[in-house]
Amino acid sequence: MLTLKNKFACLADLPSMPTLLMEALQQVNSKHDMTTLVDKISRDPSMAVRILRIVNSPFYGMYREIGSLREAIVLLGINRVRDILVSICFSKMLPIRHKDFNYSLFLHHSMAVAECTRQLASCTNTSPDFAFTAGLLHDIGDLMIVMHFHPDEFSQEQASTLIETKRRLLGFDHMEIGGRAAQHWNLPTAIQEAIEQHETPPQPGAAKSLALLVYTANLLIVKVEQSNEFALEVHDPICTALARLNVSIDQATHCTDSGRQFADQIITLS
């Protein structure tokens, strides 16, 4: 097991957040200067093309083809553009390939949880500002483990014991190192906490939080990935989480379906 002193030394090798992403997000967060935002994105033609392809995808159901980046941003909305920028940059940022790690499945799951978290935020009147990003990055610790360790050591483990196995072999799990990565990137504290707690059941009486949204979204998406059906009402942890959020089964089904559809579109078009 790694010692406490050096077990997070791999954080020093993490790539920086892409400059375009940081600059674009700064403009998005200001919510004022549309011209500057369009200019920032236009500097990367591949990024601009991706946004245009996404806005014209069936997921958004536009009644005509959108050819202007400015119009695409107006139609999608500032917050949605931020979500798309984050997802595209995330997919380009860590192009890990390992024979024992299914990168495509990881990316699809991450994007599905991101959109499901955003939808849950809307259903619960919770601030959506960080919902998508927190959902997208919730499993970033798994990617870090692939980057620096040997995923084949975990490939034969059952899901129920996988977290314990990581702790035993590495001295930490993907939630802990994922939270440290978010801290390394100076992401908001709420996102750090959501990453660290996304597989931790909420305490009785726990208030609505970003961590609870991500925890619930992850449960929903994993359930559908495992069974490919929406029998959510027979899953006790899901029912407990939905009750804490005051979200119905029908709403949860919609959020889950939207998450999967969004992931399908983004991966296909980007």
- In the chain, the domains with their CATH numbers are 17-93 (no CATH), 97-270 (1.10.3210.10)
pLDDT score at 26: 60
pTM above 0.85, yes or no: no
pLDDT in tens, 141-196: 887 777 666 555 545 444 444 445 455 455 556 778 888 878 877 778 888 899 98
pLDDT score at 170: 54
Phi, psi of 98 (to 5 degrees): -145, 140
Of 171 and 218, which is predicted with more confidence?
Answer: 218
Three-state DSSP state, 98: strand
Dist CA 186 CA 198 (whole Å): 19
Q: Are the CB atoms for 75 and 225 separated by under 8 Å?
A: no
Which ranges constitute the DSSP H helices of 137-248? 140-148, 159-170, 174-184, 189-197, 210-227, 236-245
Dist CA 26 CA 41 (whole Å): 12
Taking alpha carbons only, the member of 113, 117, 102 closest to residue 224 is 113
Tokens of 141: 């610790």
What percentage of the chain reaches a pLDDT higher than 70? 70
Residue 45 has pLDDT above 50, yes or no: yes
Of 15 and 4, which is predicted with more confidence?
Answer: 15
Q: Are the CB atoms for 83 and 132 separated by under 8 Å?
A: yes
Which residues lie below 8 Å from residue 251, measured CB to CB, with a gap of 6+?
Answer: 123
pLDDT score at 150: 54
Dist CA 251 CA 114 (whole Å): 16
